[in-house]
Amino acid sequence: MKENSEPNRRYELVNELHARPYQAVSGPQQISHFAFHYNGSAADADRDHLSALCKRFGGTPPPDGASHHVADLGKFIVKWEKHTEFGSYTFFAQGGFDAPFADPPGASVPEDWLKATPGDLTVALHIAVEDGSRPGREVVEIEKLFMPQVLVSSRIAHDNAQLWTDFRLHEDGFGRVYLRNEGMQPPQAGRVIQRIIEIETYYLLALLALPVARETSEKLQDIDGSLAHLTFAMGHGAGDDRVDDETELLNRLTRLSAEIEALATATAFRFGASGAYYALVRSRVQELREERIEGFQTLEEFLERRLAPAMRTCESVADRIADLSRRATRTANLMRTRVDVSIQAQNQDLLASMDRRAHLQLRLQQTVEGLSIAAISYYAVGLVSYVAKGLAKAGLPVNPTYAAAIATPLVIGIAWYGLHRFRKKLSKSGALD
């Protein structure tokens, strides 16, 4: 088969559908699950950290570039998965037990290794799985393992199993899930366990946005008040809080817009991820196919009552940021319109002032032209008078006084005509526009 010159990703894309396979669960087992939220470069160190654990117990380390790995470490089997912003470790220990959560496999994990795991510990969960071969435990006995006030229980997997949990952290810092398998085959049991783990992991990761939403909501309250004040000041421009300087008003509005965009940028990923995790939680709960047990909440009921309001809070804050951004944009547009109108008014005043100055300059020019004609005529007549006196002394019959009198109107007329022609010529050339 002819391959394209571009890197062929067919195998990579097909293998992605089979990434992170379920771990088959048969017989009684205890399971401990940890999820660490990455910070900084923790994702790059996660694989090396797993390799260190495998070498310590003589297991097979993950290959380079792997995003999931399963290794038999003797005391337990470890399953590692690397996700976009978190890494998870699930430890499986086969064998029966008297007390479901007395000796979980997580207790056998080296404490120094666990403390050095890259990222922040976000999920810690113990799961105890018993099968139908063992006599069922009394409800009173199971309730002692949890907090009865918030106990959640339901039939799942087409009535082939029963699940118990309370979504609480107990004295050891772990959550607890008790699952009684009454007919599931190992692959199906593995899928159910995986869904339970994903529900626990994804709902906690979804809740990471809640503290961000609460903190952001307080900042938005201040920004909202400041934006309302600026909008009022721009529209009314009167009272004790009057803002006369439009430049200062625009600067304050720009700073508010920058704060809003900074909050939007800082929270966009967290709120977006929260919505995606919440959708996964709801999907995984639906896949369990729960059936109600009288007197107990189902997982779906509990999460809808407790998790849904938190997610709506995050959505509300995200919508509020978007609304403030739109309002700030509208206010900025109004402000720019106001500045444009103000500039146009200033331009009109400037043009009117320039027109008045042009008229004054024209009148001054006409006055100067009259004085110029008088001055030119005075000096020209003086020259004529000197010439006439010289001719008279030379013996010619010339009367200097009559000569000056006759020359005066002629000189004035010539001077006026010359200046008039010169000004007309300049006007045609545009020099006087």
What contacts 9, CB < 8 A, 6 or more positions away? none
10 Å Cβ neighbour count for 149? 7
Mean pLDDT of 164-183: 94
Asked if residue 3 belongs to a domain, the reply is no
Asked if residue 9 belongs to a domain, the reply is no
375 and 247 part of one domain: no
188 and 294 part of one domain: no
36 and 185 part of one domain: yes
Asked if residue 305 belongs to a domain, the reply is yes
166 and 230 part of one domain: no
> What is the pairing mode between strands 120-131 and 175-181?
parallel
pLDDT tens digits, one per residue of 190-239: 999 999 999 999 999 999 999 999 999 999 999 999 888 888 877 665 44
| Boundary-marking domain end, from 137, 172, 196 | 196
The predicted pLDDT at position 375 comes to: 77
| Boundary-marking domain end, from 329, 349, 369 | 349
What contacts 137, CB < 8 A, 6 or more positions away? 130, 180
CA pair distance 33, 247, nearest whole angstrom: 58
Q: What percentage of residues in the chain have a pLDDT greater than 70? A: 89
Mean pLDDT of 316-338: 87
Asked if residue 2 belongs to a domain, the reply is no
271 and 299 part of one domain: yes
268 and 363 part of one domain: no
Asked if residue 204 belongs to a domain, the reply is no
Report the DSSP beta bridge partners of residue 165: 152, 177
Q: Which residues of 74-87 are buried (b: 16+ CB within 10 A; e: fewer)?
A: eebbbbbbbbebbb
| Boundary-marking domain end, from 285, 314, 349 | 349
* C-beta of residue 207 within 8 angstroms of C-beta of residue 273: no
CA pair distance 122, 212, nearest whole angstrom: 16
Residue 48: pLDDT above 50?
A: yes
239 and 277 part of one domain: yes
- The domain of 58 spans 17-196
177 and 266 part of one domain: no
181 and 80 part of one domain: yes
Asked if residue 7 belongs to a domain, the reply is no
Mean pLDDT of 122-131: 95
pLDDT tens digits, one per residue of 329-361: 888 887 777 777 777 877 888 888 888 887 787
Judged on CB neighbours under 10 Å (0-12, 13-18, 19+), 369 is: middle
31 and 92 part of one domain: yes
Q: Please, where are the H alpha helices in 116-185?
A: 139-143
Number of domains in the chain: 3
183 and 40 part of one domain: yes
